[in-house]
Amino acid sequence: MTHRWAAPSALDDALAILAADAAARPVAGGTDLVVAARQGRRPLPDSIVAIDRIPELAGQRSGDDGALLLGALTSHAWLASAEEVRRGWTALADAAAIVGSPATRGTGTLGGNVMNASPAADTVGPLIVAGAVATLRSSQDGPREIAVADLATGPGVTAARADELLTHVRIPSLPAGSGSAYVRLEYRAAMEIAVVGATAVVVLESRTEGASAIREARIALTAVAPTIIRAPGAEALLVGRAADGAAFREAGEAAAHDTSPISDVRASADYRRAMIQVVVARALGAAARRAAGEPIPVPASRWAHGQEA
């Protein structure tokens, strides 16, 4: 078998290779690719295009509208530590802080996490609830935008064409009065894959007596379906409710009831359904506390362990 390798330093050169070679696969950090090959789950591609040296795919900047633009090569380590992410999109920092090991977080990229289309991808839920939009580019048609929520069409499958490359992701600013959190169920404290994960955004209204009222809620579920999904029934249930444990537990029950979880080697559908209730309630609790100004530390999963919803 003949293997081909290219390491272009310009975006146009990378796009030209992808257009000419149908077997070519772009690789940045390569963390998932190497693990899958070592475990015998997926062979290395016949043709690899290393994109880690392309400056057009690197960098981060804030837009005039408060949005955050992240190059596809943005590392998990940067996402976990950047003050603008920890302040404005805290759930994304939560997720990035628990991806793999420190070495994985330093090498692995946001673009890789998104384009691998794993239903257990930690950073994708936070992107979905924030309304993030991915920009894909090809040499033939130029750039096109697609919501991150619509990008994955199945496990390991995306709506991107073989000649398209993810260049950057745009994350709109969250509403005033909001807090966000990502919480996952895991069997180990490190080098783990989510068994069930939940991302929550809670937007608070003016305070009433006791807990604040919820103006808006957004929930995404990780590792429970072929793709990462929203929980619209649970979201609607929370609007106008007090931001308290009872409401969050009820939302967790609604999310579990409205979901048809998958069964795999990591957990059964019944176990996942039971755990959806737990992680949704915990993610909502952390997000609401952050919305109210409480300094819940990153990652929220560590704080949530052992907490009552």
Report in angstroms the alpha-carbon separations of 190 from 69, 101, 271.
Answer: 28, 6, 21
Q: Which amino acid is at 207?
A: R
**CATH code given to domain 179-304:** 3.30.390.50
> What does the block give as tokens for 138?
């090809």
Query: What whole-number distance in Å separates Cα of residue 132 and Cα of residue 145?
Result: 10
pLDDT in tens, 197-233: 999 999 999 655 566 899 999 999 999 999 999 999 9
Q: Where are the beta strands (DSSP E) in the chain?
A: 4-6, 24-27, 47-50, 60-62, 68-71, 133-138, 142-147, 152-154, 157-158, 165-171, 178-185, 196-207, 212-222, 229-230
pLDDT in tens, 228-279: 999 999 999 999 999 999 999 999 999 999 999 999 888 999 999 999 999 9
Low-confidence winner among 32-36, 56-60, 267-271 (lowest mean pLDDT):
32-36
- Residue 16 in this model has a pLDDT that exceeds 80: yes
Q: Which amino acid is at 42?
A: R
The position carrying tokens 């103006």 is 215
Of all residues in the chain, the percent with pLDDT exceeding 90 is 77
pLDDT of residue 1: 47
Mean pLDDT of the chain: 91
pLDDT in tens, 140-153: 988 999 999 999 99
pLDDT in tens, 161-200: 999 999 999 999 999 999 999 999 876 655 568 899 999 9
pLDDT of residue 188: 60
